Amino acid sequence: MTAESEVIELTLASTLKSVETAEELTTEVCSKAGFDEEEQHRIGMAVHESMINAVHHGNKNDASKQVRLRFQIYPDRLEIHIRDQGTGFDLNRIPNPLEAENLLKVSGRGIFLIRSFVDEFRVEKLEGRGTEVTLVKHKNSRKKLA
Ligand SMILES: Nc1ncnc2c1ncn2[C@@H]1O[C@H](COP(=O)(O)OP(=O)(O)OP(=O)(O)O)[C@@H](O)[C@H]1O
Ligand SMILES: [Mg+2]
C-alpha cells in the first residue's frame, strides 16, 4: 500500500443539499483521479447513498449534526470516507434485498448498490467520534454490475 495521497476534506451539515454537494464533488474528484465518465457516475451514486444514510440513519436528519467527507487519492485507488455522528450499525445484520421476502420492499437497497459500484465497502465505529464508512475504488478495475 502506498502512503502518499492527496487529501480533500470537508464538513457538511446533515441536509439533502449536502447530499447533492457531495455527489457533485465526487464526480469532480473522480474525474481528477482519472476515472471515466461511467465510473464517475457510479461512484457518485455510491456516495449519494452513503451520504443519505449518514444524514438519515446516522444523524437522524438533525441538520446541526455534521458529516465529514474525505477523499484520499492514491496512485492506484480512490478512498472515500464518510463520517456521521451516529452510533453505527452492523453490516452483517442488514437484510439482503435479493431474498424473496425482501424483493417487494421499497427500501434496503442503498448498501447493496454501493457494494456493486465500488470495490470495497467498510464500516467502522469510532469510539466517541461517530461512525465512518469507507468506499474504495481501484483504478483500472472494471467491476461488473450484478
Ligand atoms: N450511517 C448509518 N448509521 C446507522 N445505520 C445505518 C447507516 N447506514 C446504514 N444503516 C443501516 O443499514 C440499513 C441498510 O441501509 P441501506 O442504505 O441498504 O437501506 P435503507 O437506507 O434502509 O433504504 P434505501 O437506502 O434503499 O432507501 C439501514 O436501514 C440502517 O439500519
Ligand atoms: Mg440507504
76 belongs to a structural domain: yes
CATH code for the domain in which residue 108 is found = 3.30.565.10
Please tell me the pTM assigned to this model.
Answer: 0.93
- Tell me if 130 CB under 6 Å of ligand 1: no
Bridge partners of 131?
84, 125
Reported as a single tens digit per residue, the pLDDT across 10-61 is 999 999 999 999 999 999 999 999 999 999 999 999 999 999 999 999 999 9
Residues 16 and 51 sit within 8 Å (Cβ to Cβ) = no
Number of domains within the chain: 1
**What's the pLDDT score for residue 106?**
85
By alpha-carbon position, which residue is closest to atom 8 of ligand 1?
53
Classify residue 102: in a domain, yes or no. yes
Three-state DSSP at 92 gives helix
